Structure 1
């Protein structure tokens, strides 16, 4: 009686360089040779690759500091000099601006006094990198802080000092809180010892200072008791995504409206027998899946016949994807857990992957619409988090899709896409796009996409390089040896950047 709900690649072609382009390449050649010759030393000293994140660099340095520090090697006359070299490498690579200089120019671009001082062994053992081993806590620095808080996601950030006793006392509670709220909001930490300018700019004058950042709202400071329960209670006040009570008078209209927009429902059925999701868990899920799935609950004591029409006679929870039907076996996903993170994982896995774009559909879809495209090579998107991109970018009218460069190799070759990447197409044709060279994390990609669609920046390739244009162009030549290079925001007639290593091979 159930109601049916509408519930082997070719090499890129050679490009003949025009004289101005050839001259530019000749000028860049010594720079590229210098980077290749010198650029790996600091990375090798720390035992990390050039793609290493700041967290990985800190973790590698801490391991070396605990074994190489002169305090642990009192009989070794060379320990001081050896550790100075390691400390200098860390001081450079942890700093985004210094790291960029080092990657471009080697040691010649650095202050010779950098890294000349270091802390005691006890500092590295007990005070250094407080949250580096906590996967639920994202340590932010000056380079990615703005992208994080402007990404549209909610962030609760702990501004701390490694020399602050209260900060160390809070650390275990902050870890427990982060595990409790993982996936609901982003939990961050900023070391004000390493990011003094950032903290001063944000008006941080005492530690720890806890601020919640929500899109289009003024940051909210936490003033209460620093217990896990109080931190959770404070945070939940800002999770305002609706949880709908469903009953005979609204359920079918609510479900069909969502289905028509391509959005499914999680419904928890509550009765005297069995289990249903408690109110806080429902609210968490609504925040975690905002824009992807609606969350509702049904009282099967007062709506007994309605619950029976859903084939439910006790407490239960289910995901109803768009176009699912109680009459269609297997189309409804019955959830066997009450844990919000486990439900979130199951639901995200069940959601469809990004829309697959092919050679035949690429031109027509991208000619007049903004798109963020994930280029992959024989595998799906690198993270299920990518499935959340459409919801995060909906208000900016940016559609999201993917291209398999093994299946459509000629398409990728025509765009000089030679490795997995994310690119933003600005609705001005398939050749006007910008490649993301930042961190492969959701908040960085979202912030990049929002910024890119309004910026006069495009990726230059041999076939569109403006060598014979009369108007002035500002071109940023760089070799993206890692995913950390940001665009320079300069207002000129036209602002572009050129991926030397990718486009001019």
Structure 2
């Protein structure tokens, strides 16, 4: 056993629990004593606690201390890494390490590991949190990029903590450990430690690392308003307050000129921005006004009671900005506490169609400091109901909703659905989530019971379901796009989410092997989404499933349509396996290709799932995935095929495909141009190109499709300007490709140039020109 044990009862209990865990539990979450959805900070804090307690340097009498510490370290290294953690969650075991396991000395874990983990005012940021809360936000941040092995970083740490305590709330104070987040630090241009950068302006601090100088820098970037109040202004405020029930005022009564320019005023104004106005009265100039408040302190909060024209005055006892803010918030109206009946009534009203969403703050026992951020939210969310639920008194309700960490914010919205917030619990971050979630009324969390009801029991509605893990950054990046897609799509599709850390068995039953996995269930048939994590890609995927351009081939249809095809059609087939990563990457490109060639007659784009149609793939000798095979025009059945080995993009496949499509575009030279184009009454569309021109090569398939679209109305030709440079110059061609329209009414070498290479634009323009010309002809015929 271990001998370095603190005599306090709490630590004794902690040690005994860990000793039991070593002998009975193999689960890494149990070993570190963290929940399944623990974030990286929680995991790091748990590991540090274990590391300093059970380090072999402190337990030299235990012969097994080395192995036990390596087990703890393996658990930490696995759970802190997104990819390793995903594999561990799926398969229940750590990936074998290829390197010798080592660990640092006891002093490293005690002094250098997670420098700011125990500072509540400092937000420890990983790459995803930085992206979501700093880089993508207008909120003011001052971020310290540091290394735990940097002596200057440790020297500055006390000053940084002092700054955070003083300025937290006026500006967000963050810290990034560059030993863990080296890619983020590199992206932000960090070349030395510590580097202090102000966001969103991205201004680097270059002063010394003393608290006073850093605070001056922060104050220079705060735009908070502090009003100078005289007798006349106070009368106007008083009248407005009584007439309109305006929000509260915090008044500083300054007795000297120095007091009237206190930096504390600016900090407090920034901390109370949006929901309490801050003013200063110079008592030397307005002694009578100051005396009228009859306060024993120099700070007064003036609030108007709801439904009462008489204002209430409160003397503020605190002196420090953060303490003043907390005290002021304590006087503001409390957030409504829901009991079980009122909570169920709220949900029922939403199910019946109430359009105003609710933000609910779930806590356990006591909200403590959580009220500080919570009370800022009504000002940020004026059109949202806000309430809180004490899960100690409503355990069954919280259990049914799978509320397993505290505090936690959740949005309940029109229709009865709800979503849980997984980001930082800062007011502005929560407000951003609430606005997104409440607008996406078609997105809801699904419990296992609800999932089976809509998927397994034959629900005739389409459900697009995102299986995710709340600690997985790609999952959290996808969720806003998922919500956006639910709002933009015009089809009747329901959107749901399943938390695989909370419902591991459900995800396992549905063969969810990575996060996020997004699946469309259509009448119990499921289609897995592969593609970019954007709203437009999600919508395109759904549309492709509902109105497919790619033909899914079974063994029956493959032999019926492909194996028995005649010489007048072409088939391009993707033989794939759903688990194949390269196949997953090709899937959205394959659908895009099918759309690109949808206007070409007798060209078919198909796919064969080799995991389902094993006999087809085996008979065709498919040994690797994806395998792209083309059965061309002019051949019958499977007698002739071409195998594609190029870049797997829609554009590359598109250009390769056109090598096998008979051209309907005539190759012209100066002689045939004069005979066929200039001396003909037919309308002609001519592509002037050069073989070495990349844009010309890209445009060539587009022009082929145009020729088919306009067949019977316009003849299409192309002329090689590399070969006939002087003639092209005579035709007024100065760049490649150049598209010109020649109509039967007016013939000249110059024709009409069409200023676009978009086939849709060219088609529309040509049709408009020809339709106008026909109207003129018809008018002349009538005369």
Give the TM bin, normalised by the shorter chain. Answer: 0.7 to 0.9
Task: Report matched runs for 1:55-74 at 5 Å.
Answer: 55-66=41-52, 68-70=54-56
| Closer/same/farther in 2, CA of residues 327 and 277 from structure 1, 3 Å limit | farther
Other-structure match for 2:690: none
Match of 2:269 among 271, 275, 286: 286
Other-structure match for 1:129: 114
| Closer/same/farther in 2, CA of residues 392 and 326 from structure 1, 3 Å limit | closer
Other-structure match for 1:225: 208
Match of 1:177 among 163, 166, 189: 163
The more displaced of 238-247 and 150-159 is: 150-159
Other-structure match for 2:290: 307
Find the residue that maps to 1:349 and give its secondary structure.
Answer: helix
| Closer/same/farther in 2, CA of residues 271 and 325 from structure 1, 3 Å limit | farther
Residue deviations 1:260-304, cap 9 Å, x none?
36521111222369x967621111111111122111111222223
Other-structure match for 2:298: 316
Other-structure match for 2:636: none
* Distance in structure 1 (CA, Å) of the matches to 2:330 and 2:241: 20
Task: Report matched runs for 1:254-273 at 5 Å.
Answer: 254-257=237-240, 260=244, 262-271=246-255
Confirm or deny: 8 A CA contact 1:437 1:485 kept in the other structure. Answer: no
Deviation at 1:235, TM superposition (A): 0.5
RMSD: 4.3
Other-structure match for 2:191: 205
Find the residue that maps to 2:124 and give its secondary structure.
Answer: strand
Residue deviations 1:8-51, cap 9 Å, x none?
xxxxxxxxxxxxxxxxxxxxxxxxxxxxxx99722333344556
Find the residue that maps to 1:251 and give its secondary structure.
Answer: helix
Confirm or deny: 8 A CA contact 1:418 1:502 kept in the other structure. Answer: no
The more displaced of 73-82 and 124-133 is: 73-82
* Distance in structure 1 (CA, Å) of the matches to 2:148 and 2:182: 12
Runs of at least 5 residues in structure 1 that lack an aligned partner in the other structure: 1-37
Confirm or deny: 8 A CA contact 1:91 1:115 kept in the other structure. Answer: no
* Distance in structure 2 (CA, Å) of the matches to 1:416 and 1:67: 37
Confirm or deny: 8 A CA contact 2:335 2:388 kept in the other structure. Answer: yes
* Distance in structure 1 (CA, Å) of the matches to 2:273 and 2:361: 22
Q: Is 1:333 matched with 2:279?
A: no
* Distance in structure 2 (CA, Å) of the matches to 1:250 and 1:184: 26
* Distance in structure 2 (CA, Å) of the matches to 1:86 and 1:264: 52
| Closer/same/farther in 2, CA of residues 343 and 398 from structure 1, 3 Å limit | same
Confirm or deny: 8 A CA contact 1:151 1:447 kept in the other structure. Answer: no
Other-structure match for 1:84: 70
| Closer/same/farther in 2, CA of residues 104 and 142 from structure 1, 3 Å limit | farther
| Closer/same/farther in 2, CA of residues 381 and 168 from structure 1, 3 Å limit | closer
Q: Is 1:234 matched with 2:221?
A: no
Residue deviations 1:178-213, cap 9 Å, x none?
222233322211101111222223232222111122
Deviation at 1:158, TM superposition (A): 0.4
Q: Is 1:245 matched with 2:231?
A: no
* Distance in structure 2 (CA, Å) of the matches to 1:378 and 1:179: 26
Confirm or deny: 8 A CA contact 2:32 2:72 kept in the other structure. Answer: yes
Find the residue that maps to 2:109 and give its secondary structure.
Answer: helix
Q: Is 1:432 matched with 2:417?
A: yes
* Distance in structure 1 (CA, Å) of the matches to 2:428 and 2:286: 41
* Distance in structure 2 (CA, Å) of the matches to 1:361 and 1:290: 30
Find the residue that maps to 1:250 and give its secondary structure.
Answer: helix
| Closer/same/farther in 2, CA of residues 220 and 471 from structure 1, 3 Å limit | farther
* Distance in structure 1 (CA, Å) of the matches to 2:143 and 2:113: 18
Find the residue that maps to 1:332 and give its secondary structure.
Answer: strand
Q: TM-score, normalised by structure 2?
A: 0.50
The more displaced of 495-504 and 368-377 is: 495-504
| Closer/same/farther in 2, CA of residues 423 and 130 from structure 1, 3 Å limit | closer
* Distance in structure 2 (CA, Å) of the matches to 1:166 and 1:316: 40
Q: Is 1:159 matched with 2:145?
A: yes
Deviation at 1:479, TM superposition (A): 8.1
Find the residue that maps to 1:156 and give its secondary structure.
Answer: strand
Other-structure match for 1:33: none
Residue deviations 1:135-160, cap 9 Å, x none?
33222222422333246543211011
Confirm or deny: 8 A CA contact 1:131 1:137 kept in the other structure. Answer: yes
| Closer/same/farther in 2, CA of residues 251 and 209 from structure 1, 3 Å limit | same
* Distance in structure 2 (CA, Å) of the matches to 1:172 and 1:44: 34
Deviation at 1:392, TM superposition (A): 3.4
Matched residue pairs, number?
455
Find the residue that maps to 1:265 and give its secondary structure.
Answer: strand
Other-structure match for 1:390: 378
Q: Is 1:476 matched with 2:466?
A: yes
Deviation at 1:226, TM superposition (A): 2.0
| Closer/same/farther in 2, CA of residues 228 and 285 from structure 1, 3 Å limit | same
* Distance in structure 1 (CA, Å) of the matches to 2:321 and 2:370: 19
Q: TM-score, normalised by structure 1?
A: 0.74
Find the residue that maps to 1:147 and give its secondary structure.
Answer: helix
| Closer/same/farther in 2, CA of residues 86 and 268 from structure 1, 3 Å limit | same
Q: Is 1:187 matched with 2:177?
A: no
Other-structure match for 1:496: 496
Deviation at 1:67, TM superposition (A): 5.2
Which fold has the larger relative contact order, with Cα–Cα distance below 8 Å and residues 6 or more apart in sequence? 1
Confirm or deny: 8 A CA contact 1:58 1:129 kept in the other structure. Answer: yes
Deviation at 1:82, TM superposition (A): 2.8
* Distance in structure 2 (CA, Å) of the matches to 1:379 and 1:338: 25
Match of 2:437 among 452, 468, 480: 452
* Distance in structure 1 (CA, Å) of the matches to 2:37 and 2:261: 43
Runs of at least 5 residues in structure 2 that lack an aligned partner in the other structure: 1-23, 507-783
| Closer/same/farther in 2, CA of residues 107 and 178 from structure 1, 3 Å limit | same
Other-structure match for 1:372: 359
